[in-house]
Every structure is written in structure tokens, then in C-alpha cells.
Structure 1
Amino acid sequence: MHQQLPLLLALVAAIVLIEMLATRLRVAYPVLLVIAGLLVSFIPGLPRVQIDPNMIFFIFLPPLLSDAAWSVSFKEMKKWWRMIGSFAFLVVLFSAFAVALLANQLIPGFTLALGLLLGSIVSPPDAVSTGAIMKFVKIPRITAAILEGESLLNDASSLIIFRFALVAVGTGQFIFHEALVDFSWMILGGVGLGLIFGWLFMQVHKYLPTDAPSDIVFSLIEPYFLYWIAEQVHGSGVLAVVTGCLFLANRRFSFLSSSSRVRGQSFWEALIFILNGVVFMLIGLELPEVVAGLRADGTPLSEAIYYGLLATAVLIMARIISYYAAMLATRIFRPGVALNIINNNRRRALTLPLLMGWTGMRGVVSLAAALAIPMTLHGAPFPHRSLILFITFIVILLTLLIQGLTLPYFIRRSNINSHFIEEPTDELKARIKRLMVIETVRLLREKHEKGQLTDNKLQRMIEQWEHKIKEPENLGLSEASKQHYLELLEDQRKFLIGINKEPEWPDEIIHWLIFQIDLEEERIKLL
């Protein structure tokens, strides 16, 4: 381990530098990380970074899923749950079976179960890559909400298929009624345990005398515990993490202090960035080892590349076809929803499914699943493990390079935002701020009239809130005045939480404004 530590530290430093370069070049950083990892792997004398396949899911997936659950808009997920559910489950299932049929027909010795194993690995799109690309292009809020919700759930659907395919490969048979019972328990057990332990964790945060550091530590333990406990009873660890963390995220303002939220956000941003960076670097670093495994198995490299190209093409086409089919079904069965999405614009109806289908870059989950394939099966080497790994790497590389580099251009060229009637984000923020200021002035005047506020500085604060939307100067506030101001900030927070129940206001803007209040509260506490 001590021999690999310098390499790991150097990798983390390289990840930070590459992210800076990617921002400067306006390229999604996962693309450059994969290329850098591939180049580094050819440096002679470097120790090989080895990860236990049995631990790959447990190391990377729980925190990545937790962060996604805390970031997604729960309100938008409820609003578009039918479309998100169909994309997250049906599209993944269709893609997995398409790859399974291709592999079974074209690759010698590939059974349908092995093909389904490969399909389940490469079927889920990567949310990190899509999110990194969206930093440089603007997309409509509806589209972003659907992509975020899909990316949160498609990992669960693909990994459930992965587990069943792995069992089918090991046993050589697939018993439908047993699979149906197991499948039902995986979903119900995972969701049920997520809700139960999510509620228990909320009570821990709420009633124990926790502070910001302890809240952050608990937030790191929680996804690992949820994943572990669900897997112990053969439920879906992924669904347990997603459900439990969604439960906690949707109630974060009721049990976490402003200090915990502010400091926790910084901690999780750094942690997730490092985890994602390490995984994408591993994609490049592991490729030469996988090629060596292919040669040991006697599989020609050109033939393996051909299989990888075919699998990539099938996945891209399957995703695009699925989106067109979903749009057609929505227009037939839910025309009101379809009109809300496409605004009765024919060009948008044709281009949106194509763009959504083109967002299917593969990454973290696919790599984790591929590396989690056991080395042996019944004492013998796992059949075609090296080939499955190589095809997965090819799919990840090609989708990141081809789709990842061209998606921003296609979004700009399609002019997709012009087809939406959406109020600009800045205007929405200004409207919500104005409503908050009006409510703030009302509360201040009410307290002033009741004689609760007598400090001259607070009287001037009322005048400041009435004339401009600006952070008031509070240096030198007395303890009583400081307490009154902290109460005012809590009133503002409650007001924003209250109007967030209305569908008119996007989650991300409300959460951004509450974060500004949290920052202001932390500043006042330090005075």
C-alpha cells in the first residue's frame, strides 16, 4: 500500500490540474481525465493500482448516489415521475437487451446471460459526465430535471439487471417465478429500508447535540450504512441509498443547521470531485491491463475493438429510438404533458429526443460494475471477463469522446432554448427576492409596532430593506439586535420553504436563496 500511496497522491494532484485545464478549454473534465489516465498508464515503472472487485461498489457508489440524491430536485421528480420512470427503467432495459442479443449473435461463446451481463454494465448513462458538460451550455429546466431524475434511478435499474444476469451466468438457468420474487424483494426491501433508516438518521441529527463536523460525518456514514444493510438482506443497496438520501434531502431544513448545510456542501463537493476524478483516471489506467488480459485469453485486439464499436453504436441507437418512442407515447397518452415539453413546436419535437438520446455518455457506474465481475466462477476463470471489461472501456471512451465533445455543439446549434417559454433564472431570483423583501418588511414593521424592536440600527435596517435588496450592515450589533436579526433570517427561510411548495418556483433557485441566508447567518454569528 505504501508503494502505491505516492501514485495516488500524484493522481489526486493531477485530477485538480486537469479539471482546471478542462475549465479553461471548456471541455467536460471526465474526457480529459480518461485521456490523461490512458497516457499515464504507458509510463514505465509505475506501480499498478489494484482495487478489490468485491469492494468497488461499496467504495464508490454510496457517496456518489447520495450526492446525486441531495442535488436532484425532488419537486421536479414528482412532477415528471412518469417520464423519468420510463426512461430510467424501460430505456435501460431495452438497451441492455439490445446489447445482449448483439453479443449472443456475434461473439463466439457468449451466452444470452453473458450478453445481458454486458448489457446491464454498459446501459446506464453517467450523470457526472452530463453534468460536467451542462456547465458550459444552457438547457431548459424541464430537460435538466428529466436528465437528473433519470440519472439517479437508472443506476438502480441497471444494477438490478446486473445482479440477475450474474446469477444466471453462475447457475446456467433463469427461473422466472423465483426471479420475480427476488426482484420484488430487491425493490420493496431497498425502498423500505431506505425510508426506515432515513427517518432514523433524521432523528439522530435532530435530537442528538450534533454540530457541523458531526453532521458531516453522519452524512458520510449514512449512505454506506444504507447500502450495506440493504445488501445484507439481499435488497437493492442502490435503491436504499437513493430512497433514504432523497428522504433526508427533502427534509434537510428541518434538522440541519445553517452551519451544517454550508460546511457540508463544501465537503461533499470536494469529496465527490475526488471520487469521480479517481474513477475516470482509473478508466484510462486500467485499459493496458485489460488489453493484456485479452491477449492472455487469445482474443485478437482488432476483434475486441470491433465488438466495442458495435456495442457503442447499438447503445446510442437504442437510447435515441427509446426517446423518440417515449415522446410518441407521451403525445398519444398524455398530450397535455407533451405540449408542455415541446410547446407545440414541430422542430423541437424532432430534435429534443435526438439531443436527449445523445446525452448517454457512460462512466462511473459502468466501470464499477465491470470491475465488480468476480475473477473466478466455480473455481475456474470467469468466462470472457477480460472481453467484457474491454468492451466496457471502449464504450466509455467512445461515448465520452464522441458524444461528450460534440454534445455542447449540438445543443447550441439546435437552439433548443428558443423553443421554450421559460422565465430567465435571474428574473425568477429577482421575483422571489422581492416577495421575500416584502415579507421581511412586514415582519419587521409588525415587531416594531409591538415594541419588540427598539434598536436604532434595526429601524435603519427596515429602511434599507424597503429601499433596496441588499445585505444590511450589521457590524457592531448588540447581542439582542443580533438575536432579532437571526430570527428574521429564520423567518425568511421559513417563507422560502413555504413558497417552495408552489409549482411556480424551481427547487434549485429556492435552495440557492436559502443557501445565501445560511451564509448570512454564519456571518452574523461571527460578529
Structure 2
Amino acid sequence: MDNFQQLNIIILLLIAVLALTTIARRLAIPYPILLVIGGLVLSFIPGLPTIRLDPDLIFLVFLPPLLWAAAYFTSWRDFRANVRPITLLAVGLVIATTVAVASVARAALPELGWTGAIVLGAIVSPPDAVSATAIMKHLRIPRRAVTILEGESLVNDATALVLYRAALAAVVSGKFELSHTFMDFFLVASMGIAVGIVVGIVCCWVLGLTEDSFSEIAITLLAPYIAWVLAEQAHASAVLACVTGGLYIRQRFSAIVAPITRIQARAVWDLLVFILNGIIFILIGLQLDTLREAVPSSRLAQLTIDGILVSATAIAVRLVWIPTAAWVPRLLNSSLRARDPMPSWPNLFILGWSGMRGVVSLAAAMALPFVTADGAPFPFRAEIILIAFMVILVTLVFQGLSLPLLIRLLDLGEDKSIEYEVRQARERAATAALNLLDTIVDEDWPVPGHIEQLRVHYDQRLQRNVATEASDAECTKEITEAFRRLRHETLTAERLAVINLRNEDVISDEVLHRLEHELDVEALRIGIGELRVSPERQHTKKPKTS
């Protein structure tokens, strides 16, 4: 396939992504699901060139920015508050699913052997961060459930990939050592977190040195790839490196760059994530063509049945594990039961039904080697890939399509915690601006009457808890610039107040995102979008780390 043909394929894929996304929005279903179905339909069209998905392309090109973005928009406060259920799912459930799937696969395909069955189990055990983020944001799910799902999907890949590599080494070399697997998990996880923190620190330092918004955006785009490559070179968890780096940058990004950079960076990242998600989901569907070629047609029916059986096992294990993991800790700990009552069964069921597999499982399956250490063909490689593809298809399409209906039927209740935190943050921000104005007298600023005008503006905001625009006065250029500087000070006071609320765990990062965007838009409207928070005022109260 020459370069011109590859370019044509990329253009056609982008056209298909845009068309299918538009249709998905009209049908009110998550667009990743329709993209997978569209890819499946395209794979049956005769004459289309076969598109083989390179696993290295997924791991190096697609995953770093997608994981970084998912971590960036995850609330660190909510993540910490739910670290127990997240750990039970990201570690415990992954191991349980691997064992259960391996047992069923071994029974269905005895010739697969235990090591091959464990490879399959590790491949399909982790729900996918990309799938969860892309689908959940379109559905009305309680806030805590979304936090747990996103947190689980960010961390579980590290557990699954350690099990995958250990089982893969056993198939290739014929040796499997369980103790080394557990040691490797803690080692690669710790090193991956350390790499992510180092990359985050350096990234923040460089962002503080540059004052060009395009350079700053380029730094944020480059950072996940640096974290991934450094972690791979250090034999650490590249997944955790990107997750940690994204979380670290989010805690400091609000104070170290100008409003215009945040506005532009959000637009660039939203477009990048949309394109990468669109291409990867349609490529998942298109892989059916290559799988049909790899497996004899006489075995397709039986392998399809085996894939459905493995899918049902993965779904059932999750549906059983989640209520058990919620009930047992409360049974053993009365204080936990008192401060955190047992969630309702509809919430637990939705958590159990939301285990969509996706890009990581497909990449891990496609990355299986063709030969073992002695040069023999890798046993049942095509069969493992096809069954893994069936699990992705069943969980992503079947579970993903049924989620909106189940959410409506179960009536999970309205979660107003975000609105409450928004009101609380707006009140604190307006109070901070008024306190700043109380320290300023008209003689300090050549802005006759504008200090009082701003005071009225913030008083009205406190009274109605909505923003009202300060009227634009006709004045000289000098007075206009002075007013902009004064407005910059009040907006900075608001921004720092909201950041401190986040750092004090009063509001979540989601609320910070919303209010920060409003303040940034206001800064751009009055022409001060390129002004940063001064370095001496950036030292707000540091986020809690434990």
C-alpha cells in the first residue's frame, strides 16, 4: 500500500467518522458505538482494502494523549475519596476476571492450555478508559458512579498489562512465576507513577518560562508522549505515567497559564480527542475483515459461540463482584458502614453493566507475537484475537446501547451536588473579589467610579448568584487600561478563590473547569486574556496528596 493510498484511506475514514458521529447525535446514542457498527458494516463491503491495525500505533500514537486527557478531566478529590472501590475494581476485579475467563476458555478450548487461557483473560479483563470516557459523558449517571468508572478504567490497564506480559512470557518461554508477577506489578506501577510526576513537574516548569500560548499548547501535546516513551524505556507502566502526569498537570494548570491559553488548549485537545476516538473506534469495527482471513471459515461459528461465552463470563463476574466488593468492606468495618452507607442496587447494577472493553484489549490482542522462543507458531493466536474481538464487540455495542435505556428504567435519581458546589464556588469567588476591592481606593486607580461599579456588580452576583455584566463606560485609553488591570485583579481573586476551594476539597475539578471557563471567557471579552496570575500570587494552598 503506497503513501497516496494510505492518505486516501485516512481521508475516507475521517469522512466516515464525521458522518457517523452526526448520525449518532441525531439518534441520541453514544457515537463510539455507532462508529464500531459502521466499521463492521464497512468491513463487509467488497473491494475495500484491508486495514490492519498496528498495535504499536495504538500504544504509541493513540493511547498517550487519550489517557492523559481522561486523567486531566478526572477530579483528583473524587478519585481520592473513592480510592477503595477503584482499587477493588482496578486490581481485584481484573485478577478475578482473568481467572474466570481463563477457566471458561480452558474448558471451551482445552488445547489452548492454561497459559494461553490466562493471556486471553488478561486481554479482556480491563474495561477501557477511552470507551468509558467517550460513552459516560453522554449519559446521566450519578457523579460518584462516573468517578469510580473513570478511575477504574484509568488504573486497571496497568494491572491487566502486567498479567498479560507475564502470561505472554510463559507462552513464549514456557516459564511462569507468580511471585515475580506480583513483584513486577508493584515495581512497574511505582516507577510509572514516578515518571508521570517528574514529567508533570518539568512540564509545569517549562510552562512557567514561556509566554506564547501556541508553545504552551504544544508542550501539553508533547508531554503525554514524553511520559509514555520515558516509562517504556524505564520498563515502567506507561499507562500510569500518563495518568499521573495528566492528574498532576491539572492541579497546577489553572494558575500557571493565561486564560487565552486555556481556552485555545481546550479547543485543540477536544478536537484531538474527538479525531483519535473516532478513528480508533471505526478501526475496531474494520478489524473483522482481517480476522475472517486469519481463522478458517469452518471454525468461525464455534469461535463465535466461544466468544459469546467468554463475554458472558466477563459480564457476569463484574455483576457479581461489584455488589460483593461494596458489601464486604462495610460488613467488616462498622465505621465505614456508618459514614458511607451501602449504595442502592440500581447504582450498583449500572456500575456492573458499564464494563465496556475497547482499544487496550484490541491492541493487546493484536500485539501477540507470531512465534514462540523456539520458532514455533504462537499457539492459537488467531483464535485468541477473534474471541477478544467478540468480547469488545459484545460489551461495547450490546452493553453500551442498552445503558441509556437501563438508566431511564432504573431511575437513578437526580444528582444536584455539582450545582450546589457551583453556587458555593461562585459565592466564594465574588466575596474574594469584593474583599480585594475593599483594599483599593479610587486614588490608586485612574478609574473614576469604576471601583464602585465593580462592587455593585459583585453585590448583584452574590444576591442573585448569577453573573451580570459591568457596563462599559466611555473613557480615555489610559482609564480603559487601568480598568482592565483592575478587572484582571478581581478576576484573579475569583480564580484563586475557586482554585483554593478545589485544593481544600470543597469543590471538584469538574466545578473548577466550569467556573474557570467562565472567568477565562470574561477575560477574553475585556481584552486581558493574555495576562497570567502573577508568580507571587500563584502560590495558592497546595492540593492535598494523601
Task: Give the TM interval when normalised to the shorter protein.
Answer: over 0.9
Asked if 2 retains the 8 angstrom alpha-carbon contact of 1:202 and 1:248, the reply is: yes
TM-superposed CA distance for 1:333, in Å, is: 3.1
- The answer for the alignment partner of 1:508 in structure 2 is 510
RMSD between aligned alpha carbons? 2.2
Asked if 1 retains the 8 angstrom alpha-carbon contact of 2:350 and 2:407, the reply is: yes
Cα distance in 2, alignment partners of residues 511 and 176 from structure 1:
43
Cα distance in 2, alignment partners of residues 525 and 429 from structure 1:
25
- The answer for the alignment partner of 1:349 in structure 2 is 344
Equivalent runs, 1:177-326 vs 2, <5 Å: 177-207=179-209, 209-295=210-296, 300-326=299-325
Residue range with higher mean Cα deviation, 257-266 or 311-320: 257-266
- The answer for the alignment partner of 1:358 in structure 2 is 353
Any stretches of 5+ residues in structure 1 without a counterpart? none
Q: Are positions 1:455 and 2:448 aligned together? A: yes
Cα distance in 1, alignment partners of residues 89 and 267 from structure 2:
31
1:104 to 90, 103, 106: 106
Structure 1, residues 303-360: CA drift from partner, whole Å, max 9, x if none? 1001101110000001111101111123213445455555x6xxx5333322211001
Asked if 2 retains the 8 angstrom alpha-carbon contact of 1:15 and 1:278, the reply is: yes
Asked if 2 retains the 8 angstrom alpha-carbon contact of 1:57 and 1:372, the reply is: no
Task: Specify the SS of the correspondent of 1:193.
Answer: helix
1:371 to 366, 382, 387: 366
- The answer for the alignment partner of 1:397 in structure 2 is 393
Asked if 2 retains the 8 angstrom alpha-carbon contact of 1:66 and 1:223, the reply is: yes
- Assess, with a 3 A threshold, how the Cα gap between structure 1 residues 524 and 449 changes in structure 2: closer, same or farther: closer
TM-superposed CA distance for 1:486, in Å, is: 1.2
- Assess, with a 3 A threshold, how the Cα gap between structure 1 residues 466 and 453 changes in structure 2: closer, same or farther: farther
Task: Specify the SS of the correspondent of 1:500.
Answer: helix
Cα distance in 2, alignment partners of residues 210 and 50 from structure 1:
42
- The answer for the alignment partner of 1:121 in structure 2 is 123
Cα distance in 2, alignment partners of residues 15 and 335 from structure 1:
51
Task: Specify the SS of the correspondent of 1:300.
Answer: helix
Cα distance in 1, alignment partners of residues 202 and 186 from structure 2:
24
Cα distance in 1, alignment partners of residues 316 and 169 from structure 2:
28
**AA in 2 matched with 1:242:** V
- The answer for the alignment partner of 2:539 in structure 1 is none
Cα distance in 1, alignment partners of residues 31 and 275 from structure 2:
12
Asked if 1 retains the 8 angstrom alpha-carbon contact of 2:37 and 2:285, the reply is: yes
Equivalent runs, 1:463-478 vs 2, <5 Å: 463-468=456-461, 469-474=467-472, 478=480
Q: TM-score, normalised by structure 1?
A: 0.92
Cα distance in 2, alignment partners of residues 425 and 193 from structure 1:
33
Cα distance in 2, alignment partners of residues 252 and 163 from structure 1:
35
Residue range with higher mean Cα deviation, 36-45 or 172-181: 172-181
Q: Are positions 1:443 and 2:433 aligned together? A: no
Cα distance in 1, alignment partners of residues 396 and 447 from structure 2:
61
TM-superposed CA distance for 1:40, in Å, is: 1.2
**AA in 2 matched with 1:134:** M
TM-superposed CA distance for 1:492, in Å, is: 0.8
Cα distance in 2, alignment partners of residues 396 and 335 from structure 1:
39
Task: Specify the SS of the correspondent of 1:478.
Answer: helix
TM-superposed CA distance for 1:427, in Å, is: 4.3
- How many residues of Structure 1 are paired with residues of Structure 2 in the alignment? 517
TM-superposed CA distance for 1:410, in Å, is: 1.4
Asked if 2 retains the 8 angstrom alpha-carbon contact of 1:34 and 1:283, the reply is: yes
Cα distance in 1, alignment partners of residues 169 and 385 from structure 2:
18
- Assess, with a 3 A threshold, how the Cα gap between structure 1 residues 335 and 132 changes in structure 2: closer, same or farther: farther
Q: TM-score, normalised by structure 2?
A: 0.89
Asked if 1 retains the 8 angstrom alpha-carbon contact of 2:429 and 2:497, the reply is: yes
Cα distance in 2, alignment partners of residues 25 and 341 from structure 1:
38
**AA in 2 matched with 1:324:** P
- Assess, with a 3 A threshold, how the Cα gap between structure 1 residues 127 and 188 changes in structure 2: closer, same or farther: closer
Any stretches of 5+ residues in structure 2 without a counterpart? 462-466, 530-546
TM-superposed CA distance for 1:137, in Å, is: 3.3
Percent of aligned pairs sharing the same letter: 35
TM-superposed CA distance for 1:458, in Å, is: 4.0
**AA in 1 matched with 2:104:** L
TM-superposed CA distance for 1:104, in Å, is: 1.7
Asked if 1 retains the 8 angstrom alpha-carbon contact of 2:442 and 2:448, the reply is: no
Task: Specify the SS of the correspondent of 2:499.
Answer: helix
Asked if 1 retains the 8 angstrom alpha-carbon contact of 2:128 and 2:356, the reply is: yes
**AA in 2 matched with 1:91:** L
Cα distance in 2, alignment partners of residues 243 and 68 from structure 1:
11
